[in-house]
Structure 1
Amino acid sequence: MLAQQRQQAILEKVRGSGGVRVADLVRELGVSDMTIRRDLEVLAERGLVKKVHGGATAAGPGSTEEPGFAAKSARQQPEKEAIARHAARLVQPGTAIALSAGTTTWTLAHFLTEVPDLTVITNSIRIADVFHRSPGGDRTVVLTGGVRTPSDALVGPVAVTAIRGLHVDTLFLGVHGMSTRAGFTTPNLLEAETNRALVASAHRLVVLADHTKWDTVGISTIAELSEAHVLVTDSGLPTEAREELAAAVGELIITEPQQESEALSR
């Protein structure tokens, strides 16, 4: 295979899955580690991929670019479902929880409809609608007001004022990106302020973030990595990132999307 053909194959894999690992490419393409790293360097110089520890991800948008809900919900669906399924196990009946806006937290909401006697605080119209449409009346859902963002979050002063007077047992926070330097981030300044209010309201912070969020940085920091009591992610996370995150957060939980899918089929 010529270098150009190999690089095109790598690019297609990145675009299809959101990221690739050097070790996987070495095995699949039958070339050396150094050859793959040179290919990634070429693609990165052309702005087609972003090099990260142990591999590469799709070239990310600017720090203020925010995809819509529909676009985000189509990405990394098996990973998000595995993360959400595990996060649901952290919720006990009779507790008060908060769910920030986002497609992973929206996925979590579907699993929580079976948990009785919940009080749910959210700034997501989509998440509130999940509970509204599910049977059963033994839950209380509080939807904050606010200005609607492209990702269907309600943000701004109205949302912040509503949240500041509340206290919840656990906040499940979805994020745009996470990195050692910037912490957990969002591309929306008003959403960052609203999410910081949610963090302040919670006794425990559980962050839900698939592996593609690693080394993605939005314009505003919601919380430092060390503020997360639990981070639930998936096995696509590179080894180096696992080590850095395990040292920073209270507990790092790695889910296996394939295993979760197999469990569903049994």
Structure 2
Amino acid sequence: MTDNQNLLAEQRRALILDEVRRRGGVRVNELTRKLNVSDMTVRRDLDALARQGVVEKVHGGAVPVVEASTHEPGFEAKSALELTAKDDIARTAARMVLPGTAIALSGGTTTFALAHQLLEVPDLTVVTNSVRVADVFHTAQRSGTAGVPRPGAAAVVLTGGMRTPSDSLVGPVADQAIRSLHFDVLFLGVHGISVEAGLSTPNLAEAETNRRLVRSARRVVVVADHTKWGTVGLSSFARLSEVDALVTDGGLSPAARAEIAEHLPELVVAGEPRIG
């Protein structure tokens, strides 16, 4: 760990979380020495991590929260987490989209943030299995003069399917619709990403639908905040070798960055020069 007192709160908390997960628990006095910050600062950081549901505070320190691999938070619950990181990731990913291309957006709160950033990119064809993502584009189109979509507005293809807690449409209907389509870039939100499990989700039906999305894309870009690294859901749906780029935020630890660099062609960290 670092002794830099000027670390941003998000960076400092990422370091703390990395240490908690690596060691299985930490004490406040250990963190104050390693981070060279006050006891009060460490306790505030642990409070923030506890509110995110990634650590559990215990007397004198914290331990990691181990969720069941089948646990799937709802859209509203996930929307409240890592808001700044998701907005930064969305702005960065939007710059990777060319006008006139066919793209796909999977379900998730990060792809939802990305959809807002894509409203000004002209002549897109957007394929999505996310009710929330489709609503972003439809709402923007309805706000046009006299309800007429503005020139260059995106053409949106919403797959059918069964609705998940995260408001994604999955299952055989969605899979069949996606199977016949081909898009230039897939922007994929994930529940978890790791070297061992690849990309994973707690929802079995969503895993199969995501596999179809990956197979139909010429380029696969994962958009995920730093807390997703090292998380594993019930079902893996893609290997890291099938991913062309990961767009994430600056909270990713140095150890995680090094590991990602070994397994992915491109790592894009919001606010930093592109690597890969």
TM-score if structure 1 supplies the norm length? 0.78
The verdict on how the C-alpha distance between 1:231 and 1:59 changes in structure 2, with shifts beyond 3 A counting, is: same
- Whether the aligned pair in 2 keeps the contact of 1:225 and 1:245 (CA below 8 Å) is no
Q: Which moved more, 1:136-145 or 1:87-96?
A: 136-145
Question: What is the identity percentage for the equivalent residue pairs of Structure 1 and Structure 2?
Answer: 57
State the number of aligned residues.
225
- Whether the aligned pair in 1 keeps the contact of 2:191 and 2:201 (CA below 8 Å) is yes
**1:157 pairs with one of 172, 191, 196:** 172
The verdict on how the C-alpha distance between 1:94 and 1:181 changes in structure 2, with shifts beyond 3 A counting, is: same
- Whether the aligned pair in 2 keeps the contact of 1:148 and 1:154 (CA below 8 Å) is yes
Structure 1, residues 82-115: CA drift from partner, whole Å, max 9, x if none?
1110000000000000000000000000000000
SS, match of residue 106 in structure 1: helix
**Structure-2 separation of matches of 1:197 and 1:218:** 18
Q: In the TM superposition, what are the counterparts of 1:1-266 in structure 2 within 5 Å?
A: 20=16, 22=19, 25=32, 26-29=34-37, 48-49=55-56, 58-135=64-141, 136-138=150-152, 139-256=154-271
Residue 235 of structure 1 and its aligned partner are, at CA, apart by 1.2
**What CA RMSD, in Å, does the superposition of the two structures yield over aligned residues?**
2.7
Residue 234 of structure 1 and its aligned partner are, at CA, apart by 1.0
**Structure-1 separation of matches of 2:126 and 2:55:** 41
**Structure-2 separation of matches of 1:118 and 1:77:** 26
- Whether the aligned pair in 2 keeps the contact of 1:18 and 1:57 (CA below 8 Å) is no
**Structure-1 separation of matches of 2:14 and 2:170:** 28
- Whether the aligned pair in 2 keeps the contact of 1:121 and 1:142 (CA below 8 Å) is yes
**Structure-1 separation of matches of 2:55 and 2:123:** 48
Residue 250 of structure 1 and its aligned partner are, at CA, apart by 1.3
**Structure-2 separation of matches of 1:133 and 1:58:** 40
